Structure 1
């Protein structure tokens, strides 16, 4: 055949003249990528073998590449593998060029697709939401092409890993932050348009907290959390109380004497009133001090003034908490009607002021939003369970013996805040929040915590509500304050298991089931290690990029020392080592699906599968510890909260491996180490199965329990579940149950198809997605809708 007459048909249908050099160059690149050089004769021979298969005067590019693969496999399989990977990568790159237009068209047409529904907290069909989605998709493409090293971009696009928040990659921003709110309140802070001074009332404290949330949200892409909401708000309660007390005393004196001695009264109050819970002895001392200053008030009158000031302070606190919740559900921090991904941790401030904050917060949460009391989506609330402070086994036993009396507040407890624990359970039973964090679980403790330390919250773990955990710190104090996650990347664990099983079946000639499974496990654990190293390298690369950001790119977060150490930087100075206190998360998804690929059984009821999954997560931990020592950075293992990712891996793997029962036959992979959502399992067994994984996922974790029926009618059951979590070593847990509201008549309860009162089908169904709530399942992507539908109830 005359090669000069051969035409090559390109992918777009156009033709070009045949070129031997193009084939030879492609083969040479594959050899070089494998590290093999000086094989010019072999490359030339392979090239001629490929050409020898030409049978017509026209041949497509794809057909030539198929021939190259076959000839390489005959002589150098390792080179063939590199060629295949490179070819797949190039195909993916080409596909993205055409996919981008399809994506943009879908955004313009506001299609209900998984691009538009990737974030259930955003209204993607609004103009601002569309702009956010346009920007997100274009920026991701820019990141792939120009910022990510090829091996990481390739691993992400092919579905080996998922680099989260790629659209924010070029901004160099971090993921999330935990506020030292006391520091911000005491110093005051600056926003773009001016300075904010120290607040002087509980209303101001609560309002400024929402402003801090909203302002900082625009400098990060993840969640914002207050680690000790009760401690931080308590000063505002006290200030409001003193204001009302002073006003009452002034008014009383003015009635008696027609003038007031404000300076003397202020001095006496500041010296003798240190709490809103001042007892009769303290009140008498105040009366005596005032008398010495020439101001006479009898004790009965003083008691009336105290009681009125206390009642007014409680009213103010309730309104402040009500406003706080309403603001966080209505103040849009970004386009697409996105409100702040806000979380608050509380439960261990035993002061009268801190307790009042939480009492009124829980009441406001139960009352809900609007005239019909809709369940508030934000903030995510986390109640901190601490032995001797907010919980004790003795108190629990007494409460269970007469639960109605206990829940109604007619019982005294040894743990000062155990009554708040019961109220938290009651609120969860109605409003799905708070979740529960267990501070005495061994890996959540801190040796520096002292019960008499007024700032002991510094040594208490707090979390982002979705699950992110920032605590251990190789660069400084073990604390959650003023720190956050830098970035995280997730491993496709089911893919590693499928590849391991295929390899084992090919390598184990005996066909023995046990031998195949043993080989598959060995291959799987090794591949988990290799992929963890890849992710650790990628996280380090991103960290190196992030640290080149200038301080002035984050004027609020760095300028106000929200991220600790930022205030010491000049505006044009790189953030550099200030970021060392942050965490780098190696995440994973689909533990259940991976075990199904290896053994045909999930880890919920199969000991072999459970042991293998546990060993795999331990292997990720080993890599995290090695890289922590290597770079002196806070590497950690994260039980990934997958929303958009849940379906992305599955779609890619189904195309590659086909439909495998229990693995790729659903639209989603099960989150992290969670038992399959559709697997029948008791509450106790689920908690026992998942609890050990919490200790080895210190980048963040959560265990959910799904209840059937109306939990608000069985608060006692909620308390029992929380105790099970406490006793079994859960680090962070949550209880899900149906919360349905009829839009037409306002009826609340478990609603199946139609409202039992008015027969309306217009039902608000509040459900939890990756840690936060949403009342419209239509805003969820297809994978998460499928997962929610499959969730079984636990008993």
Structure 2
């Protein structure tokens, strides 16, 4: 208080002499005392004219140079109390109590606004709204603050609603937000929930918005029991922040749609430039990237393109190899440099490549420049192979510093017709890529559960032609709508016998069903009623681009290994325990098949890409079950084994690991992956080729990658195998960046000395636990 008086005295001393009394406003600005303002303020709250003039004269005599507006208001309020207490309270509310609103304005407090918002937002009666607003006003009068804030007022209103037992109204009236401390921490330190995001202003904005939208989904969309099941850790509802506005997860594009009809990145062409059908390969490369980026604004998961090099092949006809490769380079660099997706990420992209034109496509109409028919795709086998080779060579080159291109996730289809000598050179080149960076994926089209087509999106979510049997309808212009993950170890902790396990499994799946149906309902609203997803709803030839009726609703799971240990006494490596694990996943599939019949929708089971869920479940169960919980990791970071994988620290040899995990791939057609974690020594491409042949021809593994831990010296640009703490070339210790596959995709781990970055503590612990070949 003394400091304020001294500050005011200094300001007054610096001002020119004024004939009239000066008043200091709340913002520190001086103005001359105004008799008329005081009279007007009294009249505005209902005081008689005589009283207003008398009060103004009294205040004028009491005022002094440098008097504050707060002091003047106290004088006016004290005088009005002698005239009429209600009028005095009204004056205090409109003049002394000022509100900093969510509209970035400062306004007089108005009790009627509380009444109005209660009626509008909660459907409260006028009488109840007035009662709550009056009680709130009584509390606010007691506060000694310069300003009220809208959140402060809302909190007090919510307190009154709770006191009166009006919890339903309180939930509707509550404010969504994020604590000041959390925002400060985000600005200073960032977040490690998503390894694909760097620390910058856009990620801060994203996380703040995410927090509000997560709360909105939990409070407004999901019933209490579903919200509680998620918060308590029985199930995990993925992408809660996108539940309300972009509830669709992964998307598999059909590049032919845009080759034929051109590109409207906003979906309508009303707000951006419209491009016609591409005429040159360079234009098509640009369009391919823009399609991914535009769709990312409407989706919560990854974007993928299958048969990419087949569909691009007509545009490469007659072109020299150097020009084709230059166009492919432009596409790959664009995907890795477009920091314009959610929270300043590059778009999360995957490209499924073929080594040749698949037999079922050979007689399909081919579309080329300007969207015109140019024969059939079987006419473009050479161009298809050239494009694959150019793509692989570009990835093998790395960027100008020698680092791997992290996107797109590049997936190579292995079909019976390509596992022959004719394609040996092309396949070996891909294995050079695997040996160097570990970024390539392989999809196995040989197992009996495969049809003509299967494609993968993002970390592992998958589509195949097992829905209607029509490859285009089943695998294009649709995707995984959403998935919910079940906490399998917790089921075991709560179960006394097998019957209990399946009873709990039923209940957890029922929760998942309800969540997924609500999510689908929200997706329908966003597509059909809210006009919120214009890219997906654009039409051509009378047909909407995105087909929600062909999208999958999926049950995911985490910790099968720990469930088996808790329930059977042995983990997934034990044959008897594994039989029970297979029984559990078959039971989930049985329920998915029943739901297909009951709802007419496409249900599936997938191995969850649990980047954070395995850690979240583990830490929750450690707190809830104590020593009863079967956990991987340590006391600082506990986690569960991802889905139905063998634990990463297991000593089981690779052939045995394949035999264990292959049993689960035919049961998880919604998505799966097999990890072969490679050692620190350089992997031999020919040895990897031999292994690929064996996996493809002799196992039911559907999707896999050879994952390599890498270190990169930022100072001298040296790439090294393994997680190195010191550069072998220049000796640098603090500027060595680590890379490895987090759950499905390769990403930076962080600096070697800090061992921090995009990976959360659970994934960091898992990284350290991985046994390598």
Residue number in structure 2 paired with 1:535: 512
Cα displacement (A) at 1:750: 2.2
Residue number in structure 2 paired with 1:145: 219
Residue number in structure 2 paired with 1:275: none
The within-5 A match list for 1:336-347 is 336-347=343-354
Residue number in structure 2 paired with 1:391: 419
Cα displacement (A) at 1:128: 1.2
Residue number in structure 2 paired with 1:486: 481
SS in 1 for 2:212: helix
1:378 aligns with one of 362, 386, 407: 407
- Against the structure 1 CA distance between its residues 753 and 634, is the aligned structure 2 distance closer, same or farther, given a 3 Å change threshold? same
Pair 1:319-2:323 in alignment: no
8 A Cα contact 1:343 1:382, kept in partner: yes
8 A Cα contact 2:278 2:284, kept in partner: yes
The within-5 A match list for 1:13-412 is 101=178, 104-110=180-186, 116-123=191-198, 125-192=199-266, 193-238=272-317, 241=318, 313-350=320-357, 351-370=381-400, 372-388=401-417, 390-392=418-420, 395=421
Residue number in structure 2 paired with 1:449: none
SS in 2 for 1:686: helix
1:596 aligns with one of 565, 568, 571: 565
SS in 1 for 2:704: strand
- Against the structure 1 CA distance between its residues 423 and 439, is the aligned structure 2 distance closer, same or farther, given a 3 Å change threshold? same
SS in 2 for 1:786: helix
Cα displacement (A) at 1:335: 4.6
Cα displacement (A) at 1:753: 2.2
SS in 2 for 1:358: helix
Residue number in structure 1 paired with 2:493: 498
Residue number in structure 2 paired with 1:724: 694
8 A Cα contact 1:475 1:633, kept in partner: no
State the alpha-carbon separation in 2 of the partners of residues 488 and 472 from structure 1.
19
The within-5 A match list for 1:459-470 is 460-470=453-463
Pair 1:759-2:731 in alignment: yes
The within-5 A match list for 1:575-590 is 578-590=547-559
1:546 aligns with one of 523, 538, 544: 523
Cα displacement (A) at 1:676: 0.4
Cα displacement (A) at 1:619: 0.8
SS in 2 for 1:135: helix
Residue number in structure 1 paired with 2:674: 703
SS in 2 for 1:343: strand
Cα displacement (A) at 1:661: 6.7
Pair 1:444-2:450 in alignment: yes
SS in 2 for 1:336: coil
8 A Cα contact 1:159 1:652, kept in partner: yes
Q: Deviations over 1:745-779 (max 9, x none)?
A: 22222253211221111212211112111123321
Cα displacement (A) at 1:427: 1.2
TM-score, normalised by the number of residues in structure 1 = 0.67
The within-5 A match list for 1:554-565 is 554-560=533-539, 565=543
Cα displacement (A) at 1:120: 0.9
The within-5 A match list for 1:780-795 is 780-794=759-773
Cα displacement (A) at 1:693: 0.2
8 A Cα contact 2:682 2:721, kept in partner: no
1:654 aligns with one of 601, 610, 622: 622
- Against the structure 1 CA distance between its residues 561 and 462, is the aligned structure 2 distance closer, same or farther, given a 3 Å change threshold? farther
- Against the structure 1 CA distance between its residues 650 and 107, is the aligned structure 2 distance closer, same or farther, given a 3 Å change threshold? farther
State the alpha-carbon separation in 1 of the partners of residues 263 and 599 from structure 2.
34
Q: Which runs of 5+ in 1 are unaligned?
A: 1-89, 242-309, 396-412, 447-459, 505-518, 568-574
1:637 aligns with one of 605, 608, 615: 605
Cα displacement (A) at 1:648: 1.1
SS in 1 for 2:454: coil
State the alpha-carbon separation in 2 of the partners of residues 214 and 99 from structure 1.
29
Cα displacement (A) at 1:183: 2.3
State the alpha-carbon separation in 2 of the partners of residues 99 and 197 from structure 1.
43
- Against the structure 1 CA distance between its residues 221 and 98, is the aligned structure 2 distance closer, same or farther, given a 3 Å change threshold? closer
- Against the structure 1 CA distance between its residues 381 and 158, is the aligned structure 2 distance closer, same or farther, given a 3 Å change threshold? same
8 A Cα contact 1:382 1:433, kept in partner: no
SS in 2 for 1:436: strand
Cα displacement (A) at 1:555: 1.7
8 A Cα contact 2:176 2:216, kept in partner: no
The within-5 A match list for 1:604-643 is 604=573, 606-643=574-611
- Against the structure 1 CA distance between its residues 475 and 789, is the aligned structure 2 distance closer, same or farther, given a 3 Å change threshold? same
State the alpha-carbon separation in 2 of the partners of residues 603 and 730 from structure 1.
17
Cα displacement (A) at 1:420: 1.8
- Against the structure 1 CA distance between its residues 665 and 550, is the aligned structure 2 distance closer, same or farther, given a 3 Å change threshold? closer
State the alpha-carbon separation in 2 of the partners of residues 775 and 659 from structure 1.
34
Higher alpha-carbon Rg: 2
8 A Cα contact 1:346 1:383, kept in partner: yes
Larger CA deviation: 639-648 vs 721-730 = 721-730
The within-5 A match list for 1:680-695 is 680-695=651-666
Residue number in structure 1 paired with 2:10: none
Cα displacement (A) at 1:200: 2.2
Q: Deviations over 1:691-724 (max 9, x none)?
A: 0100001110001011112344x11221122123
SS in 2 for 1:421: helix
Residue number in structure 1 paired with 2:19: none
SS in 1 for 2:351: strand
SS in 2 for 1:489: strand
State the alpha-carbon separation in 2 of the partners of residues 655 and 600 from structure 1.
22
State the alpha-carbon separation in 2 of the partners of residues 744 and 659 from structure 1.
46
SS in 2 for 1:486: strand
| Structure 1 runs, 4 residues or longer, greater than 6 Å off | 97-100
Report how many aligned residue pairs link the two structures.
559
- Against the structure 1 CA distance between its residues 694 and 112, is the aligned structure 2 distance closer, same or farther, given a 3 Å change threshold? farther
Q: Deviations over 1:474-508 (max 9, x none)?
A: 468343111111111000011001111xxx2xxxx
8 A Cα contact 1:473 1:581, kept in partner: no
Q: Which runs of 5+ in 2 are unaligned?
A: 1-166, 267-271, 358-380, 751-756
Cα displacement (A) at 1:314: 0.9
State the alpha-carbon separation in 2 of the partners of residues 98 and 496 from structure 1.
35
Q: Deviations over 1:376-422 (max 9, x none)?
A: 1100000000001x214xx4xxxxxxxxxxxxxxxxx2xxx343222
Q: Deviations over 1:208-244 (max 9, x none)?
A: 1001111111110100000111112212211xx2xxx
TM-score, normalised by the number of residues in structure 2 = 0.69
The within-5 A match list for 1:518-533 is 519=497, 521-533=498-510
State the alpha-carbon separation in 1 of the partners of residues 680 and 448 from structure 2.
34
Q: Deviations over 1:16-65 (max 9, x none)?
A: xxxxxxxxxxxxxxxxxxxxxxxxxxxxxxxxxxxxxxxxxxxxxxxxxx
Q: Deviations over 1:271-321 (max 9, x none)?
A: xxxxxxxxxxxxxxxxxxxxxxxxxxxxxxxxxxxxxxx5xx211111112
State the alpha-carbon separation in 2 of the partners of residues 330 and 172 from structure 1.
24
8 A Cα contact 1:368 1:376, kept in partner: yes
SS in 2 for 1:765: strand
